[in-house]
């Protein structure tokens, strides 16, 4: 592999707060190392459509604190085809781009891994997704911000729930993973937390609610991850409604507020460290790896591992949550 002189950076899949901080870190670390940087807009679609624009140090001014992504993001079916990836490769060659940093989740890394099996332009990944569901890193960019958004929203719902003695079912994001649900559940003192990793929780939920009502709890908050196998918050509420007819039940789906907003300090620092590490990895000749954080140290994890292995939640935390919500 030749010397790296020019790199690309893109964001792909779902957006997450802190992606801009990562773009800034990649751009400025590259420029510091005398590399040229091209921003690729709209994820892999931009690679195929040659949507490239050179980034200078000032191009990434005043974005560190902003949610969303200045490069826009997209889902791109064409990149899943050999023809799409060939066009992407030809475009990268044409622009003289010697390496690419991709910021995204599982799907983004799958695309990068396949591309690197076919072509010799190295791709390095930065984990950016609010779900925190990527194996090989303790944190993904955006998770801390989303979690704090949920905690703030649920605090507000708790106020009104207590005022009316209500039972609230609150649905949070997490299609396959319960990290946001579990951690917000603990941080908000939820009476129960339903996550996709644990099957059959509704039976226990009824018991928990009965006990809570006997103890005259003034409000009950049940956090439901959207990927919960027994249904979303509306379905779960429907399942228990007939057993608790005397109680006023409400359902809130927090939805897309969880994706937006200014990144927390923790997401900004992680994004900055990971962005820096991604460029260092390219300069070191690495390819097909994700930069991650384990025990607060930067690590390199092959895409193959990051994609294949499942990151599990700490199940002890559910037990702690149960005990503390007595
Ligand atoms: P999030 O976790 O936020 O959903 P993600 O990166 O997993 O983010 P996806 O929509 O799954 O989001 O993937 C992003 C893009 O990665 C896809 O639109 C596609 O362009 C590319 N991609 C995903 N899977 C593959 C694949 N098997 N082959 C090639 N490219 C892929």
With a 6 Å cutoff on the Cβ, whether 127 touches ligand 1 is no
Model confidence pLDDT, tens digit, residues 113-153: 999 999 999 999 999 999 999 999 999 999 999 999 999 99
Q: Report residue 78 CA to chain centroid gap.
A: 23
Cα of 10 vs centre of ligand 1, distance in Å, is 13
- CB burial string 238-260: b at 16+ within 10 A, e below: eebeeebeeeebebbebeeebbe
Residues of each domain in the chain carrying CATH 3.40.50.450: 6-142+263-308
Across residues 193-198, what is the average pLDDT?
A: 91
User: Of all protein residues, whose CA lies closest to atom 11 belonging to ligand 1?
Assistant: 107
Q: Where in the chain is the domain with CATH 3.40.50.460?
A: 145-260
For residue 76 and ligand 1, the question of a CB distance below 6 A is answered with: yes
Tell how far the Cα of 324 is from the centroid of ligand 1, in angstroms: 38
Please give the residue that has the higher pLDDT: either 240 or 228: 240
C-alpha–C-alpha distance, residues 54 and 37, integer Å: 6
25-83 residue pLDDT tens? 999 999 999 999 999 999 999 999 999 999 999 999 999 999 999 999 999 999 999 99
- Taking CA atoms only, the protein residue closest to ligand 1 atom 3 is 14
What pLDDT was estimated at residue 56? 97
Comparing 1-10, 71-80, 287-296, the range with the smallest average pLDDT is 1-10
Ligand 1 center from residue 17 Cα (angstroms): 18
- Whose C-alpha lies nearest to ligand 1, atom 31? 111
Confirm or reject: Cβ of 13 under 6 Å from ligand 1.
Answer: yes
Q: Which atom of ligand 1 is nearest to the CA of 16?
A: 3
Q: Is 123's C-beta closer than 6 angstroms to any atom of ligand 1?
A: no
User: What is the structure's pLDDT at 217?
Assistant: 76
Q: Which protein residue has the closest C-alpha to ligand 1 atom 23?
A: 107
pLDDT, tens digit (0-9, with 9 covering 90-100), for 233-278:
999 999 988 888 777 899 999 999 999 999 999 999 999 999 999 9
Which atom of ligand 1 is closest in space to residue 14's alpha carbon? 3
Domain 145-260: give its CATH superfamily: Phosphofructokinase domain (3.40.50.460)
pLDDT at 203: 84
The helix (H) or strand (E) run that includes residue 236 is helix 233-241
Average pLDDT, the chain: 94
pLDDT at residue 1 tops 60? no
Per annotation, catalytic residue among 131, 133, 144, 267: 131
Q: Give the distance (Å) from ligand 1 centre to CA of residue 185.
A: 29
131 an active-site residue? yes
pLDDT for 106-119, tens place per residue?
999 999 999 999 99
Q: If you measure from the C-alpha of residue 83 to the centroid of ligand 1, how many angstroms do you get, rounded to a whole number?
A: 17
Residues in the chain, total: 326
Determine whether the shortest distance from the Cβ of 69 to ligand 1 is under 6 A: no
Residue 91: is its pLDDT beyond 80? yes
For 245-258, the three-class secondary structure string (H helix, E strand, C coil) is: CCCCEEEEECHHHH
Classify 125 as helix, strand or coil: strand
Centre of ligand 1 from the C-alpha of residue 108, in Å: 4
- Would the CB of 116 count as within 6 Å of ligand 1? no
Q: Quick one: pLDDT at residue 322?
A: 85
Helix, strand, coil in percent for the chain, rounding step 5: 45, 20, 35
Please give the Cα distance from 55 to 211 (Å, whole number): 59
Nearest residue by C-alpha to atom 30 in ligand 1: 111
- The per-residue pLDDT for 154 is 97
Instruction: Tell me the percentage of the chain whose pLDDT exceeds 70.
Output: 99
Residue 128 CA, closest ligand 1 atom number: 3
Q: Choose the CATH number for 6-142+263-308 among 3.30.70.3040, 3.40.50.300, 3.40.50.450, 3.40.50.720.
A: 3.40.50.450
């Amino acid at each position: 592999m030749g010397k790296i002189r020019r790199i690309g950076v893109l964001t792909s899949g779902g957006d997450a707060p802190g992606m801009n901080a990562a773009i800034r870190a990649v751009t400025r670390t590259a420029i510091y190392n005398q590399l040229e940087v091209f921003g690729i807009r709209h994820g892999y679609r931009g690679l195929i459509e040659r949507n490239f624009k050179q980034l200078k140090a000032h191009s990434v001014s005043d974005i560190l604190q902003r949610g969303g992504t200045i490069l826009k993001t997209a889902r791109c079916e064409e990149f899943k085809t050999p023809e799409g990836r060939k066009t992407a490769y030809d475009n990268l060659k044409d622009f003289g781009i010697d390496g690419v940093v991709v910021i995204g989740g599982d799907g983004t890394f799958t695309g990068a891994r396949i591309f690197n099996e076919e072509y010799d332009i190295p791709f390095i990944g930065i984990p950016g997704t609010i779900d925190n569901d990527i194996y090989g890193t303790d944190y993904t960019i955006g998770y801390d911000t989303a979690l704090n958004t949920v905690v703030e929203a649920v605090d507000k719902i708790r106020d009104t729930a207590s005022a009316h003695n209500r039972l609230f079912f609150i649905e949070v994001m997490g299609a396959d993973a319960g990290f946001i649900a579990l951690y917000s559940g603990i941080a908000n003192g939820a009476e129960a937390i339903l996550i996709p990793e644990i099957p059959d929780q509704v039976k226990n939920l009824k018991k928990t609610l009965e006990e809570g009502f006997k103890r005259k709890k003034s409000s009950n908050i049940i956090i439901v991850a959207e990927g919960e196998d027994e249904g979303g918050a509306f379905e779960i509420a429907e399942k228990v409604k007939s057993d608790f007819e005397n109680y006023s039940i409400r359902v809130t789906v927090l939805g897309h507020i969880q994706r937006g907003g200014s990144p927390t300090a923790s997401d900004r620092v992680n994004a900055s460290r990971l962005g820096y590490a991604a460029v260092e990895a390219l300069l070191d000749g690495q390819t097909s790896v994700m930069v991650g954080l384990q025990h607060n140290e930067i690590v390199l994890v092959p895409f193959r591992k990051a994609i294949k292995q499942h990151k599990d939640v700490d199940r002890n935390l559910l037990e702690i949550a149960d005990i503390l919500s007595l």
